Amino acid sequence: MIHTQNYLKVETTGKALYPITRPVSEFVQASKIQTGLCTLFLRHTSASLIIQENADPDVLADLETFLTKLVPEGSQLYRHGTEGLDDMPGHIRTMLTRTSETIPIVQGRLALGTWQGIYLWEHRRATQKRELLVHVSGVQ
């Protein structure tokens, strides 16, 4: 079994969903792994990973609207505010979503469904430099 890792750097420019399917797929293909797993781990506590529809951008907009209403910024419920009014809501949004995903590799490609894409979900307003560990394991 072969294992390979790489850090994918993603610079965000505020709260949004950033598509990362292409660079992850390119790393998987370069690994030459035909059958295995791709594990993604985001090394942050105020951003997350999701696998979601990649065809209709309204889906992503609706997800952002829903999560913003569910976890509002500036609420008097939060004590932690050291890094700004969007910091604690970012931590809660990350807790409700995920910081890791595992995707099977079949015939050298990510086994995503037709309308699935991988997104880094930035929960902070300011520009951030995010680091995603991509770990691929399997057989060639």
Q: Tell which phi-psi region holds residue 20, choosing left (phi > 0), alpha (psi between -120 and 50) or beta.
A: alpha
Full-model pTM: 0.95
User: pLDDT of the chain along its 140 residues, tens only?
Assistant: 999 999 999 999 999 999 999 999 999 999 999 999 999 999 999 999 999 999 999 999 999 999 999 999 987 889 998 899 999 999 999 999 999 999 999 999 999 999 999 999 999 999 999 999 999 999 99
According to DSSP, residue 111 is labeled -
Q: What are the chain's domains? A: 2-139 (2.60.120.460)
The alpha carbon dihedral of 107, 2, 115, 26 has a sign of: negative
H-only helix segments in 43-86: 57-70
Residue ranges of E strands in the chain = 2-12, 16-19, 35-42, 47-53, 100-106, 109-110, 116-122, 128-139
Q: How far apart are CA 68 and CA 110, in angstroms?
A: 30
Q: Which two tokens stand for residue 138?
A: 């399997």
